Amino acid sequence: MKTLYVSDLDGTLLNADAELSSYTVETLNRLISSGAYFSVATARTAATTLFILEDVKVNVPIILMNGVLVYDIQSRQYIKKEVLSRTLTAQITAAIKKTGQNGLMYAVQGNELHTYYERLEKEPLKAFVDERIQKYNKRFEQISDFDNVDAGIIYFCFLDGYENIRRLYDEIKNIGGLRVEMYKDIYSDDFWYLEIFSETASKYNAIQFLRQKYGFEKLVCFGDNLNDLPMFDGCDECYAVANAKPELKERATAVIGSNTEDGVARFLDKNVL
């Protein structure tokens, strides 16, 4: 049976330092060289994901930004993207202005992803940007107003304390045509993420796209956080790492070792290889 194995990154495949252990890299490469198919589904962009996966010979397009994009590593092209309409974008930017929130806006123009910000007044967001510049050499572009970008907008991301994130969430949550994800930052006890994108974009839809395009008969996935629930819904088997949220453990086929114990790689080593 042609099977695709798909893993989330942060909190699942990556260790506490947001890196792949040497054991995980070696195991994944053995899995792929044995003829198996492997991919990842992450909230990250191509720039950071490709840096993290540089030593892994991934042989299936990867799911990015919680399903907003599907990226073919071999051709270096986005083969699926979910673009927000101008009407929806205007409603989002109006809510941002009303709540005074700082955030990032992502747009695909041609085959290039642009990441914009208006200002970086909030410390958690500034730290988020600084880390990605220093660690992954990622580019961010400052603009005076998000409304000045009117094409190819796909995604908004915010990182702040719970109350501030909740205020923006309440302004956005009832806008039709959007998918809004709010979840705790796994690397901090104090901050929450808010992500906004098209309702047609999800890890579920992206993984079904891969199933149909490449003829996979079985999908097996691994995850830890609430944004992995749609992926769990779309797979034949789904495994929660030991550090996963209770909601994932309840839906999982089984619970495996934690991300700090190479849980995914050890599962593959024992049950596939």
Q: Is the pLDDT of residue 189 over 90?
A: no
Q: Which of 158, 182, 198 is the last residue of a domain?
A: 198
What is the reported pLDDT for 187?
86
Q: Which of 177, 198, 219 is the last residue of a domain?
A: 198
Buried residues in 137-174 as b, exposed as e (16+ CB within 10 A): ebeeeeeeebeebeebbbbbbbbbeeebbbbbbebbee
What is the reported pLDDT for 150?
84
Q: What DSSP letter does each residue of 80-100 carry, written as one string?
A: EE-PPPHHHHHHHHHHHHHHT
The domain that contains 71 carries what CATH number?
Answer: 3.40.50.1000
Quote the domain boundaries for residue 242: 3-80+202-271
**pTM for the whole thing?**
0.89
The domain that contains 103 carries what CATH number?
Answer: 3.30.1240.10
Mean pLDDT of 200-218: 96
Residues 93 and 165 in one domain: yes
* Tens digits of residue pLDDT in 130-151: 999 998 989 999 999 999 998 8
pLDDT band at 169 (very low <50, low <70, confident <90, very high): very high
Q: Which of 167, 198, 229 is the last residue of a domain?
A: 198
CB 147 within 8 A of CB 93: yes
* Tens digits of residue pLDDT in 53-108: 999 999 999 999 999 999 999 999 999 999 999 999 999 999 999 999 999 999 99
Percent of the chain surpassing pLDDT 70? 100
